[in-house]
Amino acid sequence: MILYHTFTRNRDRAHAALRYYQMRPRGEYEPPRSLFTATEAVSRAEAYRLIDTHQARGYLAHRLMLSPSTSEQPEDLQALTRYVMREMEKEHGGTLHWIAVEHRNTEHPHVHILLCGGSERDGQRAEVRLDRADHTRIKEDGATYCEIEARERARWEQALNRAATQSQSDRHERAINDGRGEIER
């Protein structure tokens, strides 16, 4: 898991980063990009309001880019993002506010996340600071999600293969029982 982190103290730069993430040139088969949060898709105006509402004195917004390695490629980048951010929220012990957009315009699909600099903890406003320990946890949580998803995908594929094999075996047995003999494969 690869993670890039910068921050901005400037509202206009935070807005411009979000606009750029959403509007930069798309890949040939990439669908239009939508902004999303922990619970839903949001418009750019709603995202701007979220950024403006959850500012802190030191940091207006953290700019994160989460990129799974070639061996970790999850199918659902939004689910990966929500998992990682939910785990970070648990670690920080408060409510984090963020907006993200996924990019599939390069060889390595990735997600851009704008994490608001202000959060709520125990009913109080708090500043969100990220350090190297947070970076390590984010990468570990992303890798964990990819491992879980890969195991689930393998289980589904095994179940589908069993069902297909069983279905083929059932058709074969019905054909024999109906007196038609063996069916061609």
* CATH code of the domain containing 138: 3.30.930
Indicate if the pLDDT at residue 182 is higher than 60: no
Predicted TM-score (pTM) of this structure: 0.79
Q: What is the pLDDT of residue 154?
A: 80
In a domain, 55, yes or no: yes
Categorize the per-residue pLDDT at 24 as very low, low, confident or very high, splitting at 50, 70 and 90.
Answer: confident
27 in Cβ contact with 106 (< 8 Å): yes
pLDDT tens digits along 93-129: 889 999 999 998 778 889 999 999 889 888 888 889 9
CA angle, residues 141, 144, 150, in degrees to nearest 5: 145
In a domain, 47, yes or no: yes
Indicate if the pLDDT at residue 172 is higher than 70: no
Q: What is the pLDDT of residue 175?
A: 66
Q: Is the dihedral of CA 155, 158, 164, 165 positive or negative?
A: negative
In a domain, 183, yes or no: no
Q: What is the pLDDT of residue 152?
A: 87
In a domain, 168, yes or no: yes
In a domain, 8, yes or no: yes
Query: Domains in the chain: how many in total?
Result: 1
In a domain, 159, yes or no: yes
CA angle, residues 6, 142, 50, in degrees to nearest 5: 50
**Which segments of 42-131 does DSSP mark as H helices, in order?**
44-53, 77-92
Domain that holds residue 79: 2-177
Q: What is the pLDDT of residue 25?
A: 78
Q: What is the mean pLDDT of the chain?
A: 86
In a domain, 182, yes or no: no
Cα distance between residue 14 and residue 48, in whole Å: 9
In a domain, 185, yes or no: no
Indicate if the pLDDT at residue 185 is higher than 80: no
The distance between the two most distant Cα atoms of the chain, rounded to a whole number of Å, is 81
